[in-house]
Structure 1
């Protein structure tokens, strides 16, 4: 609610709240078309904050937001890759980063914070003082095309820290959605026509799967696609889709969803195709699955994140799935992506899986009437 209030207020306060100080480096002229393109890998954020502030409570609060451990996987991995730079040291090249977050409080007299504070006029500071919940300003394409610049501020450091912690999940979601959309523009440019037709024929849904994925198995209510030729430098990512009848809400209880997943993989997916005992199972001991309620195109859904292994303990990795309910048709759709990439990070593979699965198109609810 607080974040929505801030965003809705931006159109009214932007001119009073923020004055850009170009510092003689007009990077784009008057039109964004003349600006260079933003640069940086998916999942990277440049945090611009005074060095002393970064080492203190405010820096800790920023790290809690952007460097929180990803839940639901065995290996410790951060949500984002954060690069910290002092405001007095930021260069033209660094200003081309895809994601930049400036952090300051108006009571901070340190040199780095004052560098950022120079961009706020007295009227804007008074507005923030009058409303301590006002703590964020988004600026798109400020220095480069395709860029997201976020300013996080407060009259006092305590105000800043409080708002960061109260809005942690919303700030995380802002960049997670942005990075998913950015990745989607790249990997979904070319889609598999074969898998799209198969999804329509079998499930009456549109599977938007990159052309780099190939069909592995097509059985009754089950489809399995996979990236071919994984290597030591390339993760092994699989996607599978399954449909069954929706009978009761009991099917959506966490324990029942785990058993549902296991029943699918037990019958269809094997680490060694020649060994029927090498089927995939859900890891429940070290890192049990996490569940979140979702809404996918108006349909109730459940997100499940966790770890998997083969029944023979020969392989293991991470997975992400969505269980989507179509009450009108009386169907449950199970969509999952799982990754096998031993001793390597899984974060970006899971982001790719999330991007592809959430691009699935379900029948329009009104058309089903």
Structure 2
């Protein structure tokens, strides 16, 4: 008991006395990785399964499915264990509120009496924190009265919990994507010619450029990536738009513009594999996000795609922006996350000033589900 109490006091101090964020060192660890702090006796619990089914849920819209986030479970035995935990970018600390484990004692020592009472009364169970110990850090505390109650609440709040981390990850991916620079002259050209723009990564090249359609490509032998943008003016009704319409429209554009090396080959949607469409809002535009797998008609090639169909109500203009990849040797999840950050730099509103681009922060705009 004395040992546990000593740990509890030591663990509590960084939360009570944290220095200014500017002086904190950067957190470590890979993007898309979460360190889950849970006592090892709970690794066969309902809560363990719930975390796997939410944060670790498999993305099936890729040729080789990957988890949404890579979960690494760990317990705590020593002070050094906790010092290592504190350094990570993404940390989830999980225990029932009266759990008699080191993790449970840690949580009770950190949380205020008011927060603990809100957990016991069932009012709240999830508490996300930013930059608690290190800079660019996301920490989530999860607690309830019982394992079954906690698991149920995690499952029911999946979208909100995952979104809390996804928004942080998108900001990180934006920094990573443009770490080596972008092409402001291309962004300005797109704005001047078409009235829309986005930040273009440093090594994408313009390909097709025709009426209502532009494509860009970043070609590497083992990692071929391309983006295309299509738009249509004078669209005054969007009631007809659904997943079926989006994919039919996509296939029509792909057959015309995204062709293979053989005369009869072209990219098309692989309807044999899962396709997922959800509604969201990006930079105040009503948006359909569609993910799936493309295949090459007439050739043995395939890869993931992510499509954003966005409606600009002020301009009565409908946009389609799609990213696709062919990289049979590489995992593809993180590249899709990169494009999710890139699409949030897309702008088409009349108040936008290209002279400030790319200094604006796309994450000051409303991004909601």
TM-score by length of 2: 0.84
Query: Which residue matches 1:285?
Result: 272
Return the offset for 1:108: 2.1
Q: Over residues 44-81 of structure 1, what are the superposed CA-to-partner deviations in whole Å (9 max), with x where a residue is unaligned?
A: 11111111112211111111121001143342210001
Matches within 5 A, 1:92-107: 92-107=83-98
User: 2-side partners of 1:77 and 1:223: how far apart?
Assistant: 30
Distance 2:15 2:118 in 1: 28
Unpaired runs of 5+ residues, structure 1, are: 1-18
Residue equivalent to 1:266: 255
> 2:306 corresponds to which residue?
320
Does residue 35 of structure 2 align to residue 49 of structure 1?
no
Partners of 1:201 and 1:277 in 2: CA distance: 35
Q: Report the alpha carbon displacement of residue 91 of structure 1 after superposing the two structures with TM.
A: 4.0
RMSD: 2.6
Q: What is the Cα deviation at residue 147 of structure 1?
A: 0.9
Runs of 5+ unmatched residues, structure 2: 1-7, 354-369
| C-alpha contact 1:250 1:256 (8 A) present in aligned 2 | no
Alpha carbons of 1:124 and 1:250: their partners in 2 closer, same or farther (altered >3 Å)?
closer
- Structure 1 residue 20 displacement after superposition: 8.1
Q: For residues 214 and 168 of structure 1, what CA distance do their matches in structure 2 show?
A: 38
Equivalence for 2:363:
none
Please give the alpha-carbon distance, in whole angstroms, between the structure 1 residues aligned to 2:352 and 2:188.
23
CA shift digits 1:151-194 (9 cap, x unpaired): 11113223322221111111111111111111102323522124
Once residues 100 and 347 of structure 1 are traced to their aligned partners in structure 2, the CA distance between those partners, rounded to angstroms, is 20
**1:194–1:31 CA distance, 2 compared to 1 (3 A):** closer
SS of the counterpart of 1:195? helix
The structure-2 alpha-carbon separation of the partners of 1:209 and 1:111, relative to structure 1 and needing over 3 Å to count, comes to same
Structure 2 partner of 1:351: 337
How far, CA to CA, are the matches of 2:221 and 2:16 in structure 1? 41
Question: Which of 286, 290, 300 is equivalent to 1:300?
Answer: 286
Paired residues, what number? 342
CA distance in 2, matches of 1:286, 1:313: 17
Q: Distance in 2 between matches of 1:27 and 1:33?
A: 17
Q: What is the CA distance between 1:199 and its match in structure 2?
A: 2.0
- CA drift at 1:26: 9.6
Query: Where do residues 115-126 of structure 1 align in structure 2 (5 Å cutoff)?
Result: 115-120=106-111, 124-126=115-117
Going from structure 1 to structure 2, the CA distance change for 1:366 and 1:339 (only over 3 Å counts) comes to closer
Show the counterpart of 1:167: 157
Residues 20 and 305 from structure 1, CA distance in 2 versus in 1: closer, same or farther, beyond 3 angstroms?
Answer: farther
- Tell me the distance in 1 between the aligned counterparts of 2:279 and 2:313: 16
1:240 pairs with 2:228: yes
Q: What is the aligned partner in structure 1 of residue 105 from structure 2?
A: 114
Query: Partners of 2:114 and 2:346 in 1: how far apart?
Result: 47
- Residue 211 of structure 1 corresponds to 202
Offset at residue 224 of structure 1 (A): 1.2
CA–CA distance in 2 between the matches of 1:115 and 1:328? 52
Provide the C-alpha distance between the structure 2 equivalents of 1:271 and 1:175, rounded to a whole number of angstroms.
38
Deviation at 1:142, TM superposition (A): 1.7
Q: 1:20 to 1:191 in 2, by over 3 A?
A: farther
1: CA distance, partners of 2:185 / 2:9: 50
Residue 310 of structure 1 contacts residue 316 of structure 1 at CA under 8 Å; is this kept in 2? yes
Distance (whole Å) between structure 1 residues aligned to residue 151 and residue 187 of structure 2 = 47
**1:82 counterpart (71, 85, 99):** 71
Change (3 A) 1:208 1:292: same
Q: Which residues of 2 match residues 183-222 of structure 1 at below 5 A?
A: 183-189=173-179, 190-222=181-213
CA distance in 2, matches of 1:37, 1:305: 33
Q: Distance in 1 between matches of 2:322 and 2:90?
A: 29
Partner of 1:140: 130
Alignment of 1:334 with 2:325, yes or no, is: no
Work out the CA distance in 2 between the residues paired with 1:74 and 1:33. 42
